[in-house]
Amino acid sequence: MYVRRHEICLRLRYKEDKLVLEFYKTFEDGTRKIQEPEPGCWINAIAPTEEERNYLIEQIGVLPEFVKSSLDEEESSHMDYDDDFRQLLIIFDYPSAENEDDDSIDSTYSTLPIGIVILKGYVVTISLYENWSILEMSQGRIKGMDTRLKTRFFLLLALRISQRFLICLRQIDRLSSRAETRLHQSVENDELIEMLGLEKSLVYFSTSLKSDEVTLNKIMRGKQIQLYEEDEDLLEDVMIEIHQAIEMCNIYSNTMAGTMDTFASIISNNMNIVMNKLTVITIVMAIPNIIFGFYGMNVQLPFPFVWFPSFVAILACVVATVYFFRHNMFK
């Protein structure tokens, strides 16, 4: 599994050297990749070049503003319909992780938009980066996928994206638990900074999930997309997943905020304990200096023997150490 994820990360990293326009169509025996676009096919565009954007606009007929909106990283989830050309654009946010390895403590999460354009004869997905949901659909691992049924295609993609949100949220929860374990003995801010990054990821997730929910509510009204009975059932499943993801996001955000406040106090307390130990050690180590300082003065003192100052210094250190131990000053 780790090797597979590593291969995918390499694909994402060196996407510039790969043909990004791909065509898929569902036949009786399943969904296959085809060489040229045909009516009823799915066109997948990942970080298209200028030439490929022109191909989508001039040959496929996708509106230029739809292509531009789909490739804008700051675009929020929404739905836009053009009455003149009878084209529908759905911008839907999906989760993204810089490091897909579940065991990495350096994983940071964000959200990115993907554009789904539904027009006569085709359904087109446009995005800046490849994502797991598109990858699974292109490999035919989504049950019931049919490129000829455009509404169902989008709903299946939305379902996979919502499930991916849940997976990422569980990963964030595990990373948060690990950070909490290390925070118990920490006197530095590394773990708090890590948790701050996870809390930031939850803010991104919460905002995107709520935007996706608004988009799905518009689709549920059925004004711009015709919904059949099976589509309505699938849309309800997507809404349930989105609601669950929103609830999990809120719970994790509240829990993490309280945890960070609590452990900020614990780190401060741990630092105070360390300073207390250093203070006690300093006091013990200062006793011999005080005694030797007395006998170093040019005045007459009792017991002017060479061994006597050392004996008194050692005895005083032992007494002070026993006293501090009995009063739990070294804990």
- 285, 167: one domain: no
Order of strands across the sheet with 30-34? Answer: 30-34, 21-27, 41-46, 122-127, 109-119, 87-97, 78-82
- 280, 262: one domain: no
Which of 230, 250, 268 is the C-terminal boundary of a domain? Answer: 268
Question: Does some domain include residue 153?
Answer: yes
Which of 253, 268, 283 is the C-terminal boundary of a domain? Answer: 268
- Cα of first residue to Cα of last residue in the chain, in angstroms, is 46
- 138, 21: one domain: yes
Taking only the tens place, the pLDDT of each residue in 133-160 is 999 998 888 888 999 999 999 999 999 9
**CB contact at 8 A, 174 and 232:** no
**What is the predicted pLDDT for the residue at 256?**
85
- 257, 280: one domain: no
Give exposure, 114-130, as e/b (b: 16+ Cβ within 10 Å).
Answer: bbbbbbeebbbbbbbeb
Taking only the tens place, the pLDDT of each residue in 21-57 is 999 999 988 899 999 999 999 999 999 999 999 999 9
- 300, 242: one domain: no
Taking residues 180-204, what's their average pLDDT? 78
- 290, 255: one domain: no
CA nearest neighbour of 212 among 89, 128, 93:
93
User: How many domains does one find in the chain?
Assistant: 2
- 209, 296: one domain: no
- 111, 146: one domain: yes
What value does the mean pLDDT of the chain take? 83
Question: Does some domain include residue 25?
Answer: yes
Phi, psi of 95 (to 5 degrees): -75, 145
**Predicted structure pTM score:** 0.75
- 83, 163: one domain: yes
**What is the predicted pLDDT for the residue at 68?**
96
**Residue 174 belongs to domain spanning:** 2-268
Question: Does some domain include residue 155?
Answer: yes
**What is the predicted pLDDT for the residue at 3?**
33
Burial class (CB in 10 A: 0-12, 13-18, 19+), 202: buried
Longest dimension (CA), the chain: 111
Rounded CA gap, 329 and 284, in Å?
12
- 51, 155: one domain: yes
**CB contact at 8 A, 124 and 62:** yes
**What is the predicted pLDDT for the residue at 299?**
60
Give the rounded distance of the alpha carbon of 205 from its chain centre: 8
Query: Is the pLDDT reported for residue 20 higher than 70?
Result: no
Rounded CA gap, 233 and 253, in Å?
30
**CB contact at 8 A, 219 and 235:** yes
- 103, 251: one domain: yes
Question: Does some domain include residue 233?
Answer: yes
Q: Which helix (H) or strand (E) holds 112?
A: strand 109-119
Taking only the tens place, the pLDDT of each residue in 91-129 is 999 999 876 554 455 567 999 999 999 999 999 999 999
Question: Does some domain include residue 331?
Answer: no
Q: For residue 104, give the CATH number of its domain.
A: 3.30.460.20
Cβ atoms within 10 Å of 24's Cβ, excluding its own: 20
Rounded CA gap, 176 and 192, in Å?
10
Question: Does some domain include residue 60?
Answer: yes
- 250, 286: one domain: no
**CB contact at 8 A, 204 and 110:** yes
